[in-house]
Structure 1
C-alpha cells in the first residue's frame, strides 16, 4: 500500500469520525425550532435514501455473488436494528440529554458487542477486557453525574440516557448480524441496502404517526436535515468504507475515538453545553476502555 493511499485513508477516517460527531449537534439545533423526532428522522433518511440506493446498486453491479431472498431478509433485519430502531431511539434520547453524553453512551457499543457475544456466542471475556469494561462504565458514571448536576432534572437524564443506551444495544445487535453476511455480500452493499431499508421504514413511520402537514417546517429545519443527511450520514459512511479499504478496520476503529471528543467540543461551541472536569474525566475513561478492547 502506497504512502499516498495510507494518507488518504487516514484523512478519510478522520473526516468520517468528525462527520458522525456532527449528527447530535444537528439534531439538538433542529429541536430548537420545535420539530419532533419522527419528522426530523424522516427528513434525514429521506434526503439520504437516493444516495444509498445508488451506492447499493453500484456495489451490487460490481459483486460476483447475486443476492437472493435470504439475503434481502438479512438486509431488512439489519436495516431495522442498525439504522431504523437505533436512530429513532437516539433521536428520542437527544430530547432529554446533552449531545456530549449521548455520544459517550453510543460509544459504548463495542462493549455491548463483547457482552452479547459472551452471552449468545459463548465467547469468553478475559480479565483485560473486564478491566476495559470497568473503565468504560466508570467513565459513563462520571459523565452521567455531570449531566445530573448541570440539568437538575434526574428524570430527564435517566430517560434520555436509557433511550440512547438501548439505541447503542440495537446497533450492537446490528454489528453482530452484519458480521454474518458482510464477508459474503461486501461491506458497502450491506451498508447501503440496510440503510435504504431503514430510510423507507423512517418515512413510513412518519406517514403513520404524523400528518403530511408536519412537513411544514422552517427552512432552518430543512437545512439541518440536508446537512445531517450529507455530512453525518452519507459522506461518513462512504469515507469510513474507503478508509477501511485502504487501512483496514483496526486503524479506522481507533480513529473513531475522536468522535466523543469532537462532539463535546462542538456541544460547547455551538450548543452552549457546560464542560466539566467529571465529564472530561469520564470521556477519557470511556475512550481508554474502548482503546484497550480495540488493541485486543
Structure 2
C-alpha cells in the first residue's frame, strides 16, 4: 500500500515532460501557418477567403474527434459537461480561434510571415500581465528573466526587419498586436475549462464555434462563388487546416492541461525561430546575422525557463 502511495507521490513530483514536448510540437506546427498563408495570398486571395478555406477543411476533423470524445465519455459512464461549461468553451473558442485568427490573418496581408510571428509572440508578456491583473496569478521572477532574454532577441529581430517594410507596416503590426492580446486572454480563459471539459472535447467545441463564425463572416463579406478557388489553393487550405490548425490546436490544449499558461507561452516562443527558417527556405526571405543573434537569444530564454520550471 505504501509502495503505491510512494509511486503516486513520485508521479506527482515528476516534471511534465510530455507537456513541454506537446507545447514545442504545437509551436513548431503553428509556425508553418504564416508561410502557408503567404503562399495563398501570393495566389490572389484575401484573409477572409483563406480563413474560410482553413475552417471549412478543418471542421470535419473536429466534428469526428468531438463525436468520438462524447461517445467515449458515455461508454465510460461519465457525465457530459454542463451546458454552462459548453457555452463558455464556445465563447472562449470565438476569442482564440476566430477573433485572434482573423486579426492575425489580416495582419499578414501587410507584413512578412516572420515579422508577423515576432509580433504575435509578444503574447506571453500579456499572459503574465493579464494573469497577474485579472486572475491573481503570481509573476515568477524566473519567468521575467527568461522574458528579458527572449524579448531582447525579439527586439533585435524586430529592429532588423522593421526597415524593410513600407507605410503599411504600422497597420499590419497593429492587427497582429491585437491578435496577440486576444490570444493571451484565450490562453488564460481556456486552461480552467480544459481541466473541466477535457482537452479533446474543449478543442472541438472551441474550433467548431470559431469555424461557424468564420464561415458566416465569409458569407457576409463575399459572394458564395468566391470560395470556388483553384485546386492548388485547396491544397494549401488543407495543409493549413490539418498541419497548421488541427494538430497544433490539440497539442496546445493537451499541453495546457499539464503545464502552466506561462510555461506554455514561453516554450511557444520557439515558433518565431522556426518561421524564420521556413521563410528563408520556402519564401526566399533574406535573414542577416543580427536575425540569427536574436534567434539564439530567444532559444536561450526558452531553454533556461524550461529547465528551471522542471527543477522548480
Q: Give the alignment's TM-score, normalised by structure 2.
A: 0.81
Asked if 1:53 is matched to 2:69, the reply is: no
Query: Can you give the 5+ residue segments of structure 1 that lack an aligned partner in the other structure?
Result: none
Quote the Cα distance in structure 2 between the aligned partners of 1:123 and 1:15.
Answer: 26
Q: 1:5-154 alignment to 2 at 5 Å?
A: 16-63=26-73, 64-151=78-165, 153=166
| 3-state SS, counterpart of residue 35 of structure 1 | coil
Q: Tell which structure's C-alpha radius of gyration is larger.
A: 2
- Could you report, residue by residue, the CA deviation over 1:48-104 in whole angstroms, capped at 9, with x for unpaired residues? 001111111222222323122211221221111110011111111111222112222
Name the structure 2 match of 1:202: 214
Quote the Cα distance in structure 2 between the aligned partners of 1:108 and 1:145.
Answer: 15
1:14 Cα deviation from its structure 2 partner: 6.0
**Greater shift in the superposed pair: 109-118 or 127-136:** 127-136
Quote the Cα distance in structure 2 between the aligned partners of 1:226 and 1:85.
Answer: 21
| 3-state SS, counterpart of residue 273 of structure 1 | coil
Q: May I ask how many residue pairs the two structures share in their alignment?
A: 288
Name the structure 2 match of 1:187: 199
Name the structure 1 match of 2:235: 223
Q: Give the alignment's TM-score, normalised by structure 1.
A: 0.85
- Structure with more relative contact order (C-alpha pairs < 8 Å, separation 6 or more): 1
1:268 Cα deviation from its structure 2 partner: 0.6
Asked if 1:232 is matched to 2:232, the reply is: no
**Greater shift in the superposed pair: 39-48 or 161-170:** 161-170
2:294 pairs with 276, 282, 291, which one?
A: 282
Quote the Cα distance in structure 2 between the aligned partners of 1:114 and 1:293.
Answer: 14
Quote the Cα distance in structure 2 between the aligned partners of 1:117 and 1:10.
Answer: 20
1:46 Cα deviation from its structure 2 partner: 0.8
- Could you report, residue by residue, the CA deviation over 1:217-273 in whole angstroms, capped at 9, with x for unpaired residues? 23222111111111111133345667889xx54798776454222211110111111
- Could you report, residue by residue, the CA deviation over 1:133-169 in whole angstroms, capped at 9, with x for unpaired residues? 3334333322221222222x1x322222221121121
